[in-house]
Structure 1
Amino acid sequence: MLSLQALSDRAEIEAVMVQYVNAIDTRDFEALTAVFTADAWIDYTAMGGIKGAFPEVKAWLAQVLPHFPAYYHLIGNVAITVEGDAARSRSACFNPMTVRLEDGTEQTFFLGLWYHDRWQRTEAGWRITERVEEKCFDHNVPAALAVGTS
């Protein structure tokens, strides 16, 4: 049986996961400071992104994502292991995106991935210290965006 502390930790971590997708999907990149530690390491290379320190990746997101007129992130299948003030999690993400092509038309494509996260309990609550994406699938990705597509 889970303790009240374990239930609370899980609920708080899941709430931060939702903060992440809401910040990304509403293009409120400053809100990511309530998701990651200042020294967090992020690796988005599995899906064609960059890897680096949180401030660099946050700036990259703010520069790149406005080029996509529509997208959202749906997360689920969350597995969390808490060990004191540290935790690990794995969650699935379904990410449809729309991009404008050179001919002016739009194309929607689909990405499936897992987030592998390391967490730290801070004075401000749980924060991600490391995020690594793992590719599951992609579908209908335009050739100009294709990086290691299946």
Structure 2
Amino acid sequence: MLPLQEISDRLEIQDLLARYSFAIDERDWDALDEVFTSDAVIDYRETGGARGTLAQIKAWLPLAMERFPLFQHMVATTRLDLDGDRATSRTILFNPMVYRKDDGAEQVFFIGLWYRDKLVRTEKGWRIAERYEEMGYAHNVPQMPAIPTIDDVPDRI
């Protein structure tokens, strides 16, 4: 039988992962402050994105995601290794996205990946200290211009 603390930790981390998905899907970039530690490092490069601090990623996301009128980040099947106030996890993400072309036509495509996270318990609850997106597969991805880099948004940081 799992100890109550471990049950609580697992539920809190499951909720944390869901809050990340909702923050991204609702474009509520400030909600990421309640998901990540203030000194978190987030690495989306393997899936075509950027790597940076929480502040840099929050400034970059609106520019990077504006080409997509709709997306869903559906997390499932987390392998979680708890070690006191620290944890590591690997979580499956299924990510359907809609890309709007210059002529207004929309194309739906799918990405499957894993989030590899390092988590820490803080006085405000569990937070992600490091996130790495590991690419799995993509289907029906349209031709599109390169996603902006962190350097493309220095005035927002």
- TM tier, smaller: over 0.9
Identity of aligned residues (%): 49
Q: How does 1:120-139 map to 2 (within 5 A)?
A: 120-139=120-139
After TM superposition, the structure 1 stretch with the greater mean CA deviation from structure 2, 120-129 or 59-68, is 59-68
Deviation for aligned residue 1:136: 0.6
Deviation for aligned residue 1:121: 0.4
2:107 maps to 1:111: no
* AA aligned opposite 2:28: D
Residue in 1 that maps onto 2:141:
141
Deviation for aligned residue 1:46: 1.1
Task: Give unpaired runs (5+ residues) of structure 2.
Answer: 148-157
Task: Give unpaired runs (5+ residues) of structure 1.
Answer: none
Residue in 2 that maps onto 1:57:
57
1 CA distance for matches of 2:25 and 2:81?
Answer: 26
Deviation for aligned residue 1:65: 1.5
2 CA distance for matches of 1:18 and 1:144?
Answer: 28
* AA aligned opposite 2:4: L
Secondary structure of the equivalent of 2:104?
Answer: coil
Secondary structure of the equivalent of 2:2?
Answer: coil
After TM superposition, the structure 1 stretch with the greater mean CA deviation from structure 2, 23-32 or 102-111, is 102-111
* AA aligned opposite 2:100: R
2:99 maps to 1:91: no
Matched residues, number: 147
Residue in 2 that maps onto 1:21:
21
Secondary structure of the equivalent of 1:55?
Answer: helix
2 CA distance for matches of 1:146 and 1:70?
Answer: 18
2 CA distance for matches of 1:102 and 1:138?
Answer: 22
Q: Deviations over 1:33-55 (max 9, x none)?
A: 00000100010011100001111
* AA aligned opposite 2:34: A
1 CA distance for matches of 2:24 and 2:126?
Answer: 18
Residue in 1 that maps onto 2:41:
41
1:144/1:70 CA distance change after superposition, 3 Å: same
2:73 maps to 1:81: no
Two-structure CA RMSD over aligned residues (Å):
1.3
Secondary structure of the equivalent of 1:20?
Answer: helix
Residue in 1 that maps onto 2:152:
none
Deviation for aligned residue 1:145: 5.2
Normalising by the residue count of structure 2, what TM-score does the alignment of the two structures yield?
Answer: 0.90
